[in-house]
Amino acid sequence: MVVEIKKVGVIGSGQMGSGIAHVCAVAGFEVQLNDISRDRIQSGLASINGNMARQVSKGQLSEEERTAALSRIVAAESMDELGEVDLIIESAVENEQIKRKIFSQLCPLLKPEAILATNTSSISITRLAATTDRPERFIGIHFMNPVPLMELVELVRGIATEDETFEAARVFTRKLGKTIAVAEDFPAFMVNRILLPMINEAIYTLYEGVGSVEAIDTAMKLGANHPMGPLQLADFIGLDTCLSIMQVLYEGLADTKYRPCPLLVKYVEAGWLGRKTQRGFYDYRGDVPVPTR
């Protein structure tokens, strides 16, 4: 029997987690939002409120729909409060050890039929599933950023994922109004397997002095018709996330073409992670972003 998903738990209230909670609530699901502190949950709820208000101003959502959606999201300050959810979506930082720790804490608290999902953008679904008490009920549901705007979701089965789990995830994702692309469980799946090496190559192009930040982004926007330059996009994603994905590709596929650019490593070591820290390949502390190189 395919589980009917009505109540969703989201672990992580950052940009991705709050976006996932947002679309789930708009689609009519009850949502419990969890993070490591009350302040972080409240910050996530404030972001959801602001993003829904923008949708109302653009005519994408009515005020009644916004009010109803917000009423479906509640803060879960402790994992103990997640015991009755039908689906948990983990959306913590892209670090395998942190994700493993979350699942080990979470599993004893959940009802046996609950489905576990991870929003990882690169880490092995099979390996994460093996750390749980229900690998057959574990799946990758990889949303794109920003979640309310991006149509695609990658569904990724681990080696043990049962057909019923996949079908429940497929039905759930379609209820969100998303388009599904099914990916095999290889490092970085499909989108990031293609996208991140391009971004990494753009950083190498900067590192080697072939072009400036502005020149590289302009070249790709006007020469390849990309809506956003690769360095601007890296700042939007988060340079720490970009580095984590490149490391997964480099280690998982053992191919030197995936070696993270040393300049990317240096920016992350400096804490220049992009928009979320106000500095990356651009400095966002003024009225207009300014290239840092």
CB 113 within 8 A of CB 131: no
| H or E element at residue 116 | strand 115-118
Residues belonging to the active site: 121, 142, 154, 192
Query: Cα torsion at 241, 245, 250, 252 (round to 10°)?
Result: 140
Nearest Cα neighbor of 5 from 108, 71, 89, 78 is 89
Residues 6+ apart with CB under 8 A from 279: 272, 273, 285, 292
Distances (CA, A) of 223 to 217, 232, 233: 10, 16, 16
Per the DSSP assignment, residues forming a β-bridge with 33 are: 10, 75
| H or E element at residue 172 | helix 163-175
Alpha-carbon gap, residue 27 to 206, rounded angstroms: 42
Question: Both tokens of residue 266?
Answer: 């240096």
Alpha-carbon gap, residue 94 to 244, rounded angstroms: 7
